[in-house]
Amino acid sequence: MANQPQTPDFEDTKRAFAHLSKRELRRALILFQTVGNIRMVRIGKALMQLAHALRIPVGWAIRPTVYSHFCGGETIAECEETVATLAHNHVHTILDYSAEGKEQEADLNATQQRIIEGIEATQGDDRHGFSVFKVSGVAATALLQKAAENPEQLTEAESQAWERVKARVDALCSRAAALGTPIFIDAEETWLQGAIDSLALDQMQKHNTERALVFNTLQLYRHDRLAYLQALTHRAAEEGWHLGVKLVRGAYMEKERERAEERGYPSPIQPSKADTDRDFNAAIQWCVQHINRVAFCSGSHNEVSNALLAQCLAEAGISADDPRVWSAQLLGMSDHISFNLSQSGLNVAKYVPFGPIRETIPYLIRRAEENSSVAGQTSRELELIRREVQRRKQSA
Ligand SMILES: Cc1cc2nc3c(=O)[nH]c(=O)nc-3n(C[C@H](O)[C@H](O)[C@H](O)COP(=O)(O)OP(=O)(O)OC[C@H]3O[C@@H](n4cnc5c(N)ncnc54)[C@H](O)[C@@H]3O)c2cc1C
């Protein structure tokens, strides 16, 4: 008998914020009030970028504020408290080493090593749901772009560098597979994604023979991704492996549209938010319908999509905690979804970014921008945090 998912109650702020002390809740309140103000975010972004470029230490300002809210710590050991708190509330951790934009071979190897350490931390510790990495963390961006757009033009030296990228990706996926930890390959800009898809396909064919251990990421704000999901599902069935996918809407919409406009090619992005929502929800339904071939994670802060996931599982008679189905959010965001969904019986995980404060600045800027530009997101977070502050005052 399937363990039926309960209908999640995203209004339950007591459960959503039970893991936050009074001080932490207050910090969250101030933070979301600040990032809700576009001017403040622009000024903060400019200051952070300047400090980053000039290597001015900003840890004293960032650590107690945005960093503590959105990141687990500088090292895996420092993330322990976050991992334990999430596990205590039935939410799994996805350690995410968040260094970006490295170009030198030594730096790329060092990033690979940090990611391996994150993978190894999952060994024998079921508080961890997945491992994750970005291919651009272990490949120079220009090379990745050339491998995506013009692979036949790679010079001899570039071909050798590309072989090293493949070896790094293989080392990461193979280590995760050997430990039985599923691993996500994050999705990036369209001009890099062709190469990432091809690396991910190789790794899925290699490791997903018994079950899905390597997961590619599909961005449903692209108008071609639902068809790609369907084609991959058929290919996996024909070739006898299991498809692993993380479904997301996509993080680079403005950049994608601007570039397409500048260079005069058709935008790869859906014409409207409603189109993205339609394809994202259709992708969830597709994965549930093909659950015998597809394992998937819905990476989303959207309440409708997360409620739909629970509903589709219930309708299909799939157990809420079926190991092939997950929902994931980012640390410090949409706790009302993560903790209430896990209470409904679903498998839930949160990305827990870690790394030196300096290295996490681009990630933190993206979080601040996302929370100031995505309509409704901050006001919803703010509304729920305010309600919880109020509730605690009344019940004190
Ligand atoms: C666990 C997790 C992992 C993630 N991994 C990745 C990743 O690997 N790669 C990646 O790119 N992103 C990733 N993201 C970010 C994700 O793609 C979204 O940017 C973010 O989650 C916001 O989308 P949403 O589903 O949460 O909700 P919503 O707030 O409902 O949707 C906002 C999103 O809708 C889309 N959208 C908004 N306006 C329009 C419009 N006018 N036209 C078309 N589409 C529009 C955009 O994608 C926007 O980000 C991840 C998110 C999570 C939670």
| Rounded-to-integer distance, Cα 62 and Cα 66, Å | 6
> Which of 183-192, 308-317, 335-344, 373-382 has the lowest average pLDDT?
373-382
Residues with CB under 6 A from ligand 1: 186-187, 217, 219, 221, 248-253, 269-270, 272-273, 276, 299-302, 328-330, 351, 374, 377
Domain count, the chain: 1
Is 377 inside a domain boundary?
no
Is 38 inside a domain boundary?
no
Residue nearest to atom 37 of ligand 1 (CA): 273
Is 184 inside a domain boundary?
yes
Is 108 inside a domain boundary?
yes
pLDDT tens digits, 105-140: 999 999 999 999 999 999 999 999 999 999 999 999
Q: How far is the CA of 215 from the centre of ligand 1 (A)?
A: 17
Is 334 inside a domain boundary?
yes
- Taking residue 358's Cβ as centre, other Cβ atoms within 10 Å add up to 16
Q: Report the sign of the C-alpha dihedral through residues 13, 18, 20, 25, in that order.
A: positive
- Closest ligand 1 atom to Cα of 297: 1
Which DSSP category does 249 fall into?
-
H or E element in which residue 132 lies:
strand 128-133
Distances (CA, A) of 91 to 86, 128, 367, 383, 389: 5, 9, 21, 23, 23
Mutate to test the pocket of ligand 1, among 131, 134, 249, 277 (most ligand atoms within 8 A of CB): 249
Burial of 118 (0-12, 13-18, 19+ CB in 10 A): buried
Mean pLDDT to the nearest integer, 199-221 = 98
Mean pLDDT to the nearest integer, 157-163 = 97
Is 216 inside a domain boundary?
yes
Q: How far is the CA of 251 from the centre of ligand 1 (A)?
A: 5
Mean pLDDT to the nearest integer, 38-56 = 75
Q: How far is the CA of 155 from the centre of ligand 1 (A)?
A: 36
| Rounded-to-integer distance, Cα 48 and Cα 279, Å | 35
- Closest ligand 1 atom to Cα of 351: 1
H or E element in which residue 333 lies:
none
Pick the closest to residue 186 from 238, 134, 234, 111 (CA basis).
134
Which DSSP category does 222 fall into?
B
**What is the domain extent for residue 133?**
74-357
Is 244 inside a domain boundary?
yes
**pLDDT at residue 101 above 90?**
no
| Rounded-to-integer distance, Cα 54 and Cα 282, Å | 46
Mean pLDDT to the nearest integer, 232-236 = 98
Mutate to test the pocket of ligand 1, among 188, 248, 301, 351 (most ligand atoms within 8 A of CB): 248
Q: How far is the CA of 301 from the centre of ligand 1 (A)?
A: 8
pLDDT tens digits, 265-295: 999 999 999 999 999 999 999 999 999 999 9
pLDDT at residue number 2: 56
pTM: 0.95
Residue 323's CATH number: 3.20.20.220
Q: How far is the CA of 76 from the centre of ligand 1 (A)?
A: 26
Is 34 inside a domain boundary?
no
Q: How far is the CA of 252 from the centre of ligand 1 (A)?
A: 8
pLDDT band at 375 (very low <50, low <70, confident <90, very high): very low
pLDDT tens digits, 162-199: 999 999 999 999 999 999 999 999 999 999 999 999 99
Percent of the chain, pLDDT > 70? 97
